[in-house]
Amino acid sequence: MENETQEKTPLSTLPRITVYHAAQCEPRKCTGLRLKHRGLARIVTKTRFLPKRAIVLNPFAEIAFSPADRQRVQDFGLVALDCSWEHAQKVIKGHVKGTSRCLPILIAGNPVNFGKLTKLTTAEAIAAALYIAGFKAESEELLSVFTWGHTFFELNEMLLDNYASAKNSAEIVEMQVRLTKGKKCE
């Protein structure tokens, strides 16, 4: 007979997650800080402390994040930028080393930007990248610390599964073109 009360196992397979935190948000609502408090992410406030060979989630990158990035994420980690987009451009241009990737089109499940395309929280962005890279259980566990975390997966289940089945960035871009029917999304 199986034990009906399953204990949550620690995220031993969770890749190293680093968040550059620019302190531009309200600390109570900051998803990056909440991940830090739960021991799921490392926060840095200076770009020199970012891992050099990690994948950087960069909304301005020309290459889409894809399952082909899994090994690099596993070996060197994942970096998210928790700052305004204006600040992100400055930070990325001169200071961020690593391999930049942009996330494909996804729908925000957080209460502030619910239903908006590409307006993800830092935690949603990290969870999406983990899911696409094949760390599905870790992705779900990461967002489980938020009351609205399940909503992100409910809104994006089909998209995430499709992106996770892609071979590379080119296939992700192709999926997005079909999704938007050739319209440019910004």
Rg (CA), the chain: 16
CB atoms near residue 119 (< 10 Å): 14
User: What is the Cα–Cα distance from 3 to 6, expressed in whole angstroms?
Assistant: 7
- Using a 10 angstrom Cβ sphere, with 0-12 exposed, 13-18 middle and 19 or more buried, the burial of residue 51 is middle
Check residues 47 and 94 and name the one with the higher pLDDT. 47
Count Cβ atoms within 10 A of the Cβ of residue 97 and give its class: 0-12 exposed, 13-18 middle, 19 or more buried. middle
In this prediction, residue 182 has a pLDDT band, given cuts at 50, 70 and 90, of low
How is residue 10 written in tokens? 């620690």
Task: State both tokens at 87.
Answer: 């600040």
pLDDT of res. 3: 38
Instruction: Report pLDDT for 121.
Output: 92
Read off the pLDDT of residues 21-42 as tens digits, 9 standing for 90 and up: 877 777 788 898 999 999 999 9
Task: Provide mean pLDDT across the span 125-130.
Answer: 97
Most confident of 3-12, 79-88, 110-119, 130-139: 130-139
Query: What is the percent of the chain where pLDDT is above 90?
Result: 58
pTM of the model: 0.85
**Whether the Cβ atoms of residue 57 and residue 103 lie closer than 8 Å to each other:** yes
Mean pLDDT of 110-130: 94
Q: Which pLDDT score, from 0 to 100, does residue 91 have? A: 62
Q: Side-chain half-sphere of 122: how many Cα atoms within 13 Å?
A: 32
- Mean pLDDT estimate for the chain: 85
Could you report the per-residue pLDDT of 65-92, keeping only the tens digit for each? 999 999 999 999 999 988 766 666 666 6
Q: Is the pLDDT of residue 18 over 60?
A: yes
Q: What is the pLDDT of residue 28?
A: 80
| Best CA proximity match to 120, nearest among 24, 39, 128 | 128
Location of structure tokens 């204006």: 86
Tell me if residue 64 falls in helix, strand or coil.
Answer: strand
- Is 161 a residue whose pLDDT tops 70? yes
- Only one residue has tokens 């949550």, namely 8
pLDDT score recorded for residue 7: 38
Task: Check residue 169 and give its pLDDT.
Answer: 95
